[in-house]
Each structure stands twice: as C-alpha cells, then as structure tokens.
C-alpha cells in the first residue's frame, strides 16, 4: 500500500507539473498571438491617417513659406518690390492652398479593445476539478506465470464484474529497470513473453480499456515472474537453413541442400509444451513456397543426420499436409494442413515405464499434437527411457520460417 501510494503521489505531481508548464506555454502563445493582432490592426489603420497628416503638414509648411515670401516682397525696396511681387503672385497661383486630403470619418477609424470572456475561468475550474481520479482496485489483475524455455506465459483475469474490457495492455521490465515496456496489446487474456533470460526476475503489470473508450484503466499490482528454462535453439551449420541471432528462428533458404534441422540439444522435456511459431506476423508457421509430402515438424529421440525427414523410427511428427507419423508410420487420424497461420504444439507426458527385458525397457509417452484448434492423442512406445528429446524440422522448398519455444 505504501509503495503504490508513493508511486501514485509521484505520478500525480509529475502530471500536474506537466500540465502547469503546458498551460503556461499555451497562454503565452495565445497572448503573443493577440498582441501581434493588435500590432497588425494598429499598423494598417494608422497608415492612411499618417499619410493625411503628412499632406496637411506639407501644405501648412508651403503656405507658411509663401507667407514669409509675400511679407518680404511687401517690405522690400521700391526698386525690387514689383519684381518680388510678380514672382510671389505667380508662385501663389501655382500652389493649391484651398483643398485638403480626404480624412476618414470617425466611425471608420478603428478603436481597439480587448474582449475577454470571464466564463473561461469557470470552464477551466470545472474541468480541472473533474480531472483525474484515484483508483484503489484495478479492474484486471495478473493471475498466473508459467515457465517456458526462454519465455514466460503470463495470464491475467478481470476482477471487476461491471468492467467490460475491449483490449488489454501488458507491460514488463527487467530487474530494476526504470521504465516498463509494452509487450502485448490485444483482446486475449494470456501471452507468451519471449526473449526472457533464465533465472532473472522480470516485473509485469496489466491494464485494460472499456469498449469504445481510449483511456486505459489503472495498472494492476506489479508481480515478479521468471523462468529457469534455457531457450530452445536450432543447431547451426546446416546449409539449407538460416538462423536468427538468438538461434530460435529457422528460415529455409534457397539452397539445394536438404535434410533435417535439429535442435542444438535435447532441451524438450516431458511435461512441457513445445510450440512452433512465426515471429514476425504473430502466426505460427509461414510459408511462401510449395509444401512437400516429406516436410515435417516434430520431436525425436536422437539426431540422424542422414535422414531427410522426421518421418522415421524414434520420432513423432506432423507433415505439412496434416498427416501424423509415429516411428515412421502414418496414423489414420489426420490434422488440418499446416499452412500460413497454422498453430502446431506438442505436449508429452510419461504414462508407463514397464519392466526391462533383453530388448530394452517398455517406455510409453502420451503425445498430444495440436494444429488449428484440432488435436490428436496417442501413445508413443519406445524401447528406452527418454524424458528429454530433440526437436526438428525439414522443408524441401524455401520460405518456411519457424520460431520454436
């Protein structure tokens, strides 16, 4: 309670300080705009009056000069008087002193004033006093963390029955990092967060927004999640496949070389879920090439580098046409074809460990393979105890891109 209260105080103070700065900036900008408008009106309105004043002042100055010249002609010597009077008379006739420039009427002369509506303060006051709320119980909370190889499956649930969510927003941060990062926005109530370092604590939180609304709800109580499982990796060096930097994404390139791409080590353990996923589009398998009947995704007891498919002994797999193979034999049950957007998962559990004999132990695994919301369940009988398995894939044509976790 104290931690969330302290955090809430900090958020409120920061938000309102930001609002103060923004409001001051907006008010300063509005004031500057109005002052510039006053300057423009003053400049345009005073221009004809200034020109009129200049004309009047020029006429008065001219008349004053002429007056002084006439007085000089009258009071001059008798010999020069007639000549000066003649010059004065000619100049006086050339100068129009009986007309004035047009002066704007008083009603046409602008008189500036500022019109300020006092109701703005009332509106702002009502908006400010209604701005922001303090919530003590967020409508969604984190519910469960499930370890994945190099990832964590995060689940959350709605705890407010009156809250109708449209979208959820999941964030996380590593260790004591200062900022949370968005990792998922959508309508689902669970998400597998990948690229998680093993044995490192990550802090998660989730919020939601109502249908048709833009604002998000308060954040859930932050919780710590971690995984002890090392991430799955494809083995390097096979010519027909290109790998991502983390070696969990395999792309079938245009090399003519073919074969099965195996995992680096037998990192798939019974009791876990193995998932193949296309990482860029959010779909699980993406193909831009032609499928082949020998294409396959699955798990096996051991690597056999001479094979070009997982449709062999000591392996279970699904072909791109949806056929399921157990120890190289095709089952009668079939799943939907594996195409762009398909989901493929493998789940296994030990169901029987029989007594050992000369031929070896009778070891049985119950296997569930799911694809496109359909699944097949069968028992896989092996002649040796095996709780950790390799996974692999084989594609004949380029364009298949598979993420495994």
Per-residue pLDDT reduced to its tens digit, 254-291:
888 888 999 999 999 888 899 987 654 434 454 455 77
Q: Are residues 306 and 359 in the same domain?
A: yes
192 strand-pairing partners: 153
- Mean predicted lDDT score pLDDT of the chain: 84
Residue 110 lies in a domain: no
225 neighbors 152 (Cβ within 8 angstroms) = yes
Of the ranges 38-47, 132-141, 221-230, which one carries the lowest mean pLDDT score?
A: 132-141
Q: Are residues 176 and 294 in the same domain?
A: no
pLDDT band at 79 (very low <50, low <70, confident <90, very high): low
Q: Are residues 389 and 292 in the same domain?
A: yes
Q: Are residues 253 and 366 in the same domain?
A: yes
Look at residue 2 in the predicted model and tell me its pLDDT. 84
Residue 306 lies in a domain: yes
Q: Are residues 217 and 352 in the same domain?
A: no
Return the higher-pLDDT residue of 83 and 313: 313
For the stretch 101-113, pLDDT in tens is 666 677 777 788 8
pLDDT band at 152 (very low <50, low <70, confident <90, very high): very high
> What CA–CA distance (Å, rounded) separates 345 from 275?
4
Torsional sign, CA 40, 45, 46, 51: positive
> What CA–CA distance (Å, rounded) separates 83 from 195?
111
State mean pLDDT over 247-260: 87
Residue 103 lies in a domain: no
Please name the residues in contact with 322: beta carbons below 8 A apart, sequence gap of 6 or more. Answer: 334, 335, 336, 337, 338, 371
The range of the structural domain enclosing residue 189 comes to 140-227
Look at residue 324 in the predicted model and tell me its pLDDT. 94
> What CA–CA distance (Å, rounded) separates 103 from 97?
16
φ, ψ of residue 88 to 5 degrees: the values are -60, -40
- Return contacts of 88-95, CB within 8 angstroms, 24+ apart: 91/66, 92/66, 95/62, 95/63, 95/66
> In this structure, what token pair is assigned to residue 52?
């009129």
| Domain termination residue (choose one: 197, 227, 257) | 227
CATH code, domain with 374: 2.60.120.920
Residue 32 lies in a domain: no
Q: Are residues 334 and 262 in the same domain?
A: yes
Q: Are residues 173 and 253 in the same domain?
A: no
Q: Chain-centre distance of CA 5, in angstroms? A: 28
For the stretch 158-197, pLDDT in tens is 988 888 899 999 999 998 777 899 999 999 999 999 889 9
| Domain termination residue (choose one: 205, 227, 249) | 227
Q: Are residues 251 and 354 in the same domain?
A: yes
Look at residue 287 in the predicted model and tell me its pLDDT. 47
| Domain termination residue (choose one: 177, 202, 227) | 227
Q: Are residues 176 and 223 in the same domain?
A: yes
Look at residue 289 in the predicted model and tell me its pLDDT. 57
For the stretch 264-273, pLDDT in tens is 999 998 888 9
CATH code, domain with 202: 2.60.40.10
Q: Is the pLDDT of residue 39 over 60?
A: yes
Q: CA separation (Å) from 147 to 107, 241, 279?
A: 83, 28, 19
Select from 242, 243, 244, 338 the least CA-distant residue to 289: 338
For the stretch 324-380, pLDDT in tens is 999 999 999 888 888 776 779 999 998 876 554 444 457 889 999 998 889 999 999
Buried/exposed code over 80-115 (b: 16+ C-beta within 10 A; e: otherwise)? eeeebeeebeeeeeeeeeeeeeeeeeeeeeeeeeee
State mean pLDDT over 104-130: 82
Q: Are residues 278 and 220 in the same domain?
A: no
Of the ranges 17-21, 130-134, 161-165, 194-198, which one carries the lowest mean pLDDT score?
A: 130-134
Look at residue 188 in the predicted model and tell me its pLDDT. 93
Look at residue 100 in the predicted model and tell me its pLDDT. 62
142 neighbors 398 (Cβ within 8 angstroms) = no
Q: Are residues 146 and 257 in the same domain?
A: no
Select from 307, 289, 283, 321 the least CA-distant residue to 390: 307
Residue 134 lies in a domain: no
φ, ψ of residue 23 to 5 degrees: the values are -65, -45
> In this structure, what token pair is assigned to residue 286?
């993406």
Tally the domains of the chain: 2
Residue 6 lies in a domain: no
> What CA–CA distance (Å, rounded) separates 335 from 356?
34
Q: Is the pLDDT of residue 46 over 50?
A: yes
Buried/exposed code over 18-43 (b: 16+ C-beta within 10 A; e: otherwise)? eeeeeeeeeeeeeeeeeeeeeeeeee
Q: Are residues 245 and 219 in the same domain?
A: no
Q: What value, to the nearest 5°, has the Cα angle with vertex 234 and ends 228 and 236? A: 125
Look at residue 357 in the predicted model and tell me its pLDDT. 45
35 neighbors 43 (Cβ within 8 angstroms) = no
pLDDT band at 199 (very low <50, low <70, confident <90, very high): very high
Of the CA atoms within 13 Å of residue 242, those in its CB half-sphere come to 9
């Amino acid at each position: 309670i104290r931690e969330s209260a302290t955090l809430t105080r900090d958020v409120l103070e920061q938000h309102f300080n930001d609002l103060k700065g923004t409001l001051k900036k907006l008010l300063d900008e509005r004031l500057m705009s109005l002052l510039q408008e006053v300057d423009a009106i003053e400049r345009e309105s005073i221009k004809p009056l200034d020109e009129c004043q200049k004309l009047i002042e020029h006429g008065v100055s001219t008349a004053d000069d002429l007056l002084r010249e006439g007085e000089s002609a009258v009071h001059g010597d008798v010999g020069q008087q007639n000549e000066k009077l003649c010059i004065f008379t000619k100049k006086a006739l050339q100068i129009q002193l009986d007309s004035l420039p047009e002066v704007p009427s008083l009603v046409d002369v602008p008189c500036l004033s500022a019109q300020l509506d006092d109701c703005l303060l009332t509106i702002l006051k009502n908006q400010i006093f209604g701005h922001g709320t303090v919530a003590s119980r967020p409508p969604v909370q984190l519910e469960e963390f499930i370890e994945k190889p190099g990832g964590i499956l995060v689940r959350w649930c709605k705890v407010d029955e009156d809250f109708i969510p449209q979208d959820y927003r999941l964030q996380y941060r590593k260790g004591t990092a200062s900022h949370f990062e968005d990792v998922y926005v959508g309508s689902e109530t669970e998400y597998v967060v990948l690229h998680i370092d093993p044995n490192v604590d990550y802090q998660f939180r989730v919020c939601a927004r109502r249908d048709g609304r833009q604002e998000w709800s308060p954040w859930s109580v932050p919780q710590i999640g971690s995984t002890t499982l090392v991430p799955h990796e494809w083995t390097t060096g096979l010519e027909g496949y290109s790998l991502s930097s983390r070696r969990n994404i395999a792309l079938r390139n245009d090399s003519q070389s073919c074969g099965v791409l195996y995992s680096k080590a037998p990192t798939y353990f019974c009791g876990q879920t193995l998932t193949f996923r296309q990482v860029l589009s959010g779909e699980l398998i993406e193909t831009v090439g032609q499928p082949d009947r020998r294409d396959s995704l699955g798990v096996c007891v051991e690597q056999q580098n001479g094979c070009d498919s997982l449709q062999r002994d000591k392996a279970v797999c699904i072909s791109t046409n949806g056929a399921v193979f157990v120890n190289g034999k095709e089952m009668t049950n079939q799943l939907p074809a594996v195409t762009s957007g398909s989901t493929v998962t493998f789940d296994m559990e030990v169901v029987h460990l029989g007594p050992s004999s000369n031929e070896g132990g009778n070891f049985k695994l119950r296997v569930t393979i799911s694809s496109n919301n359909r699944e097949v369940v069968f028992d896989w009988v092996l002649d040796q105890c095996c709780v950790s398995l390799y996974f692999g894939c084989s594609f004949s044509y380029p364009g298949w891109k598979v993420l495994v976790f």
